[in-house]
Amino acid sequence: MSYSADDFARDFHIMCKLAKRLKPNDIFDWVQWEMARTHKAIIQWWIQVEKVEIHHQVEEEIQFPALGVAIDTSASHAEYTSMLVPLGAFKSYLESVSEGTAQWSSETASMLAQAFLPELMHHFVEELYMLDPGALRRSGIAASALEAMRQAVAVRAKESADFTKDIPGLVVHNDGAFDWPRVPWAITDEFRMPAGLYLLHKGWWKYSALPLDL
């Protein structure tokens, strides 16, 4: 069965709804909220297959082992594993078009996308339900374990993602607003855009309400 626009809208609405809240202070609430924001950003920028791969690499290395001591992550892992083959075919096609060894065909792209997109969307939604704050609390996992997971993910993500080409696209698609610029954290006089990122893209970020004085 093909995956319709209505199906997509339904699943994406769930991600947006769970990502819309203000940043929670409670780590049990934060885990689902942050995952929803990540899924939402990936889907809005979904043709970047590499982002899906990086996201799941971090999950497999850090999040699933940390969560697996308290909750069953096997279904989520199995979904992603089964999705790798059609996702890889879609990625190979895009690479062939980019390299000039294949011609672009919207029909081919649609066919290849239909092979993995329904499972990707279902996986992203079900994973959020798996991380329901109430379920995490009932699992008995310690808040300190979730906090350690959060810190480890932050470190690994900085190693996996390219700071200059990956972050800007995800940032602008991270909170539901399309008026440039937006960032995934509150900008104040004390905490602004990191200088390393700001300088590379100062032609855009200078329009921020609180630009760095550089």
**Predicted pLDDT of residue 172:** 58
Share of the chain above pLDDT 70, in %: 74
Count of domains forming the chain: 1
* Residue 211 placed within a domain: no
| Residue 212 included in any domain | no
Question: Is residue 82 domain-resident?
Answer: yes
Task: Give residue 101's pLDDT.
Answer: 96
156 in any annotated domain: no
Higher-confidence position of 166 and 150: 150
Confidence grade of residue 181 (pLDDT, cut at 50, 70, 90): very low
Asked whether residue 24 is domain-assigned, the answer is yes
Residue 65 within a domain: yes
184, part of any domain: no
Q: Are 33 and 18 in contact (CB under 8 A)?
A: yes
pLDDT at position 97 is 94
Task: List pLDDT tens digits, range 11-45.
Answer: 999 998 998 877 889 999 999 999 998 898 888 76
Long-range contacts (CB closer than 8 Å, 24 or more residues apart) made by 110-114: 112/86, 114/2, 114/3
Q: Please check the confidence at residue 200 and state whether its pLDDT lies above 80.
A: no
Question: What's the domain range around 121?
Answer: 5-147
What is the per-residue pLDDT across 90-138, written as a single tens digit (0 to 9) for each? 999 999 999 999 999 999 998 998 898 899 999 999 999 999 999 999 9
Residue 81, pLDDT score: 87
pLDDT tens per residue, range 104-117: 999 999 899 889 88
Q: Is 43 contained in some domain?
A: yes
Instruction: Tell me the pLDDT band of 169, cut-offs 50, 70 and 90.
Output: low
Whether the per-residue pLDDT at 207 is higher than 80: the answer is no
Q: Would the pLDDT of 177 be above 50?
A: no
